[in-house]
């Protein structure tokens, strides 16, 4: 995710919300949907891993995204019945891509060792690696790392989806959604990954952040279109005859179109991050974050105009993270403050 700078202090009314809501965030009803929450750990004031897992359990949050194999978190997840998306961090990709023994060691230490008591749903091999976003040094390692992790998972007798998480900057065309296509300068990177996923019948994980699109284009994107509050169609796709009332749907459907054009019509999409910050940026208020996340959670139960059905989604994030740099909106995506107080009421029911 991109970053920007700001002091990011909460508005006065937030203190009242913290006092009244505390841990009274609505219990999560997972019937008919699969909406998890990302557990970022870039902070020096966060609760213990066991406290965090206990909070997920108390709220009946069904799934967690963990960005790297923190051993305390894996131990705390034991017996929790929480489904886990476990990340292989970018700085581990080269070693795993270059050595099957390194891949085996990683899988044995972080997956097999916990597989009898932790419900692994995905292994996300790399996060937002791209030829065009500043971390291109990892591009050549993503697919071979996926292949080696997949081989190690299979050799261990486990059935866990191996995929990767990308960002929407890989799209060269996203408007209208039916014309969505990946950038020509990323095709040599993403096309083989799509072929791997199609061959294994696995989805692509995508971090979808309407907030950043809105922030960069406030003159042409309305806040209501970004927050799911538009009362009528904003974008009419002349090629598909589908209408779009929110930017999230338009982005996801552009991804579906891009996958189809790249030979991945059978590859599904899992939204591995989405949310709205409460401070530090443009329209970053507690009220807007509450509106976005509540509307999102209800909306993804029905999919998008192009693809009906449940769209598996992970809300970003469980907590504010005070050590993300540079300081700014990146520090304020949490539903909770680090002392486990709810910043606003969220209903997953």
Is residue 329 among the annotated active site residues? Answer: no
Q: Which residue has the tokens 């023994």?
A: 101
- Catalytic one among 202, 273, 312, 329? 273
- Catalytic one among 128, 321, 329, 330? 128
DSSP 123: E
Which residues neighbour 19 within 8 Å (Cβ) at sequence distance 6 or greater? none
CA-to-CA dists, residue 130 to 138, 183, 220, angstroms: 8, 11, 27
Which among 267, 279, 292 has a CA at the least distance from the CA of 321?
A: 279
CA-to-CA dists, residue 207 to 109, 124, 236, 255, 336, angstroms: 27, 12, 24, 11, 20
CA-to-CA dists, residue 39 to 13, 217, 220, angstroms: 26, 29, 33
Query: In angstroms, rounded to a whole number, what is the distance separating the alpha carbons of residues 190 and 208?
Result: 17
Query: In angstroms, rounded to a whole number, what is the distance separating the alpha carbons of residues 11 and 159?
Result: 46
Is residue 51 among the annotated active site residues? Answer: no
Which residues participate in catalysis according to the annotation? 128, 273
């Amino acid at each position: 995710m991109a970053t920007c700078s700001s002091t990011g202090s909460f508005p006065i009314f937030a203190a009242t919300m913290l006092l009244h809501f505390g841990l009274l965030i609505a219990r999560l009803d997972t019937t008919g949907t699969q909406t998890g929450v990302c557990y970022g750990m870039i902070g020096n004031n966060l609760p213990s891993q066991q406290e965090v897992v206990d909070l997920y359990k108390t709220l009946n949050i069904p799934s967690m995204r963990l960005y790297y194999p923190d051993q305390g978190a894996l131990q705390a997840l034991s017996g929790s019945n929480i489904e886990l998306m476990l990340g292989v961090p970018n700085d581990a990709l080269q070693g795993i891509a270059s050595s099957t023994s390194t891949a085996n060691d990683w899988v044995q230490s972080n997956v097999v060792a916990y597989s009898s008591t932790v419900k692994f749903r995905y292994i996300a091999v790399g996060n937002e690696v791209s030829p065009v976003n500043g971390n291109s040094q990892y591009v050549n390692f993503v697919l071979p790392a996926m292949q080696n992790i997949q081989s190690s998972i299979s050799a261990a007798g486990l059935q866990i989806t191996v995929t990767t998480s990308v960002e929407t900057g890989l799209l060269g065309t996203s408007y209208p959604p039916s014309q969505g296509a990946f950038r020509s300068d990323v095709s040599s990177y993403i096309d083989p990954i799509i072929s791997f996923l199609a061959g294994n019948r696995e989805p692509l994980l995508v971090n979808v952040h309407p907030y950043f699109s809105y922030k960069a284009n406030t003159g042409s994107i309305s806040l209501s279109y970004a927050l799911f509050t538009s009362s009528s169609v904003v974008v009419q796709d002349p090629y598909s005859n589908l209408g779009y009332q929110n930017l999230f749907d338009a982005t996801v459907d552009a991804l579906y179109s891009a996958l189809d054009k790249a030979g991945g019509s059978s590859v599904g999409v899992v939204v591995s991050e989405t949310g709205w910050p409460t401070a530090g940026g443009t329209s970053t208020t507690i009220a807007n974050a509450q509106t976005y996340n509540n509307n999102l959670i209800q909306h993804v139960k029905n999919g998008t105009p192009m693809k009906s059905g449940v769209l598996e989604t992970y809300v970003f994030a469980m907590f504010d993270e005070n050590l993300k740099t540079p300081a700014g909106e990146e520090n304020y995506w949490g539903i909770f403050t680090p002392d486990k107080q709810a910043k606003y009421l969220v209903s997953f029911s």
